[in-house]
Chains A and B, each alone.
Chain A
Amino acid sequence: KNQVEQSPQSLIILEGKNCTLQCNYTVSPFSNLRWYKQDTGRGPVSLTIMTFSENTKSNGRYTATLDADTKQSSLHITASQLSDSASYICVVMGHGQNFVFGPGTRLSVLP
């Protein structure tokens, strides 16, 4: 069964600290893996898209990694800011338009 799991479910950190969010998937065949940021009451915004051959991709303070062999991805946030408080969603695209969404990690950054 195609699934995407994310951990932790929620996370609280202090402003300025780093954190890492995890994503494990069983989607096959694999096309690409995406990380989205979703602010409360808003639509998701794309952070990164990674294909099979990409191990690391950065977007400002966000760095995503992908290990296609173990089917794991991580999203590392450096020097967190209050505006980073949001849900972070891992999405794996399989065959056709088969998007499998993870449940998300709710991040709260406190001053």
Chain B
Amino acid sequence: ETGVTQTPRHLVMGMTNKKSLKCEQHLGHNAMYWYKQSAKKPLELMFVYNFKEQTENNSVPSRFSPECPNSSHLFLHLHTLQPEDSALYLCASSQDLGRGNEQYFGPGTRLTVT
């Protein structure tokens, strides 16, 4: 195990629902990331947090709302999603934003929007 856990592992939601994805890292890292992996497309970086502060927002639609209450936890709040938002959502962490730092990924949440 990488020390990064994500819940739930699978989620099916309607377009009018509100749900949240949770990520927790047990590695003592200070930086956390949300990625989206759609079928047959490269991973896309969505958000970056460093010491609980958001440092990157890669032009993500406002229906995705991240929250980082502390360095160990990261949430992605979802509301009024579209079917094209169906994807694998991966969380990762690293020691900090140093360029050579390893990123450790969680197993992902498989999201299906109906």
Contact = CB atoms under 8 A, between A and B. Distances in A.
Contacts of B104: 46
A43 B42 contact: no
Interface string A50-75: 01000000000000000000000000
What interface size band does chain B fall in?
20 to 34
Given A4-B42, A102-B42, A103-B41, A43 B99 contact: no
B55 A97 contact: yes
A103 B4 CA distance: 23
A51 B100 contact: yes
Most chain B Cβ neighbours within 10 Å, of A44, A49, A93, A101: A44
Interface residues of B, dominant DSSP: loop
A4 to B, nearest CB: 7
Contact of B108 (A42, A102, A104): A42
A93 B108 contact: no
Interface in B73-114: 90, 92, 97, 99-100, 102-108, 110
A99 B100 contact: no
Nearest to A49: B100
B103 A46 contact: yes
A93 B110 CA distance: 26
Interface of B: 2, 4, 40-45, 48, 55-56, 90, 92, 97, 99-100, 102-108, 110
